[in-house]
């Protein structure tokens, strides 16, 4: 199912810049109250995201669920 609010977005260029800043800011500070540090590394495109997701899935299936122990 497609969300009519977002279905026009095909790449990061289609996302309003202010929204990208808001999302990045969230991920920079969302752990502050737990005294944990987070960081961001900018934005990458769809192809890079798919590569990272695939690599993570492969690692998960090769190494198993680290929370299952």
Residue 64 lies in a domain: yes
Split into its structural domains, the chain has a count of 1
Return the half-sphere exposure (C-beta side, CA atoms, 13 A cut-off) of residue 15.
15
pLDDT of residue 2: 80
Residue 26 lies in a domain: yes
Full residue range of the structural domain in which residue 54 is found:
12-68
pLDDT of residue 11: 92
Instruction: Please compute the mean of the pLDDT values over residues 23-41 and round it to a whole number.
Output: 93
Residue 7 lies in a domain: no
Residue 40 lies in a domain: yes
Residue 50 lies in a domain: yes
The more confidently predicted of residues 13 and 67 is: 13
Is the per-residue pLDDT at 69 higher than 90? no
Residue 22 lies in a domain: yes
Closest CA to 22 of 7, 8, 43: 43
Tokens of 45: 């495109």
Residue 25 lies in a domain: yes
pLDDT of residue 12: 93
Percent over 70 (pLDDT), the chain: 93
Residue 2 lies in a domain: no
């Amino acid at each position: 199912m497609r969300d009519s609010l977002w279905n026009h977005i095909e790449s990061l260029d289609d996302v309003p810049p202010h929204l990208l800043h808001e999302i990045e800011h969230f991920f920079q500070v969302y752990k502050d109250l737990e005294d944990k540090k987070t960081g961001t590394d900018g934005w990458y495109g769809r192809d890079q995201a798919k590569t990272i997701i695939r690599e993570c899935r492969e690692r998960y299936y090769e190494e198993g669920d680290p929370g299952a122990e």
